[in-house]
Amino acid sequence: MPKPLIYDLDREGLKNLLAEWKQPAFRVNQIWEGIYRNLKSAPEEWSNLPVVLKKIMAEKTEFSGIIPVDRLESSDRMTIKTLFKTRDGQAIEAVLMKYDERRTLCISTQAGCAMGCVFCATGQMGFFRNLTSGEIVEQVLYFARELKKVGETVTNIVIMGMGEPFINYDNTLDAIDRLNDPRGFGLGARRFTISTVGLVPKIQEFTKEKRQVNLAVSLHAANDELRSKLLPINRQYPLSELIPACRDYVETTGRRITFEWALIDNVNDRLEDARELAGLVNGMICHVNVIPLNPTTKFSGNATSLERAQAFSNELNSAGVPCTIRLRRGIDIQAGCGQLAGKHHEASSNSA
């Protein structure tokens, strides 16, 4: 049986483990701060723990639940994608994006994805398993350690990588809680954004929690016919259920919601598409992020031009719906969700 991953433990779990080892409770703070504040990655790095405890930690817990196996850096050095392998051989990926003063991480919650969104490389590879809370956390700690070497810190985390976070709801929110804990990593709740394709019951559950964590919904179409073609989940939770759930989220929490829209040339980037979207979200406190499609090999659609993207954005803004064109990042290293892991999975399958 594999040793427990240290990052899977919350403070109570760590306290219980130390009690099993007959260690005093005050060691919890020392270990917790070591992991999350000082970013230690192995027991021997603690100078304030007794040798016997460090030996027990090394023998009975695991500090490497994910191992980096590939790294790609964009030509402008503003985007770094890392491919990790889990202990059971799953391929997952995370991306560091540099924006002026911000250092934003895009992290994964699943190995693969079952949602089947036609333009997404992760959806094209299928689903393998949920990540544990510790495997989610460790992606952040890996990049935090890398940034620390150059005197920088993680400023934002978007949970928009591989997988649907709301299918792995408990582990995703446990990971956020661990990274939000002011006694450790201490990243503010508003620095996190969870992105969902629109699982209505989970949006409703999330709404009831009234968290300060940001919510984004991958919309991509403003009518059921097109959205069902692009995102199969729409057949289960159509816009007539999704949009009211989004409105309820805004009204209950008082927080703005973000809608993500991948602009596909002559598919969902026309002015009439923008007008349809404006009508759909009319009166809602929201923001629309549009981004020209990140191309994938298994989807024939092309990215819209910058001119069409600007026209789409202008149409929304003129209708009173705030819209921003997001820069496509890391196109030269295929930084789109799941692209590197998909290649790794295909290579593994072909060699089997």
Task: Please compute Rg for the chain using Cα positions.
Answer: 21
User: What is the token pair recorded at 255?
Assistant: 């927080």
Tell me which of 106, 241, 337, 346 is the catalytic residue.
337
CA angle 247, 213, 107 (to 5 degrees): 115
Catalytic residue status for 246: no
Using CA atoms, how far residue 257 sits from 88, 178, 212, 249, 326, in Å, is: 36, 23, 12, 8, 16
d(CA 183, CA 347): 42
Beta strands in the chain (DSSP E): 66-73, 79-86, 91-99, 102-106, 110-112, 127-130, 156-159, 192-196, 214-218, 257-263, 286-292, 323-325
Using CA atoms, how far residue 105 sits from 96, 125, 213, 303, in Å, is: 5, 22, 15, 23
Tell me which of 93, 135, 138, 315 is the catalytic residue.
93
Catalytic residue status for 93: yes
For 34, the enclosing helix (H) or strand (E) is: helix 27-36
Positions annotated as catalytic residues are 93, 337
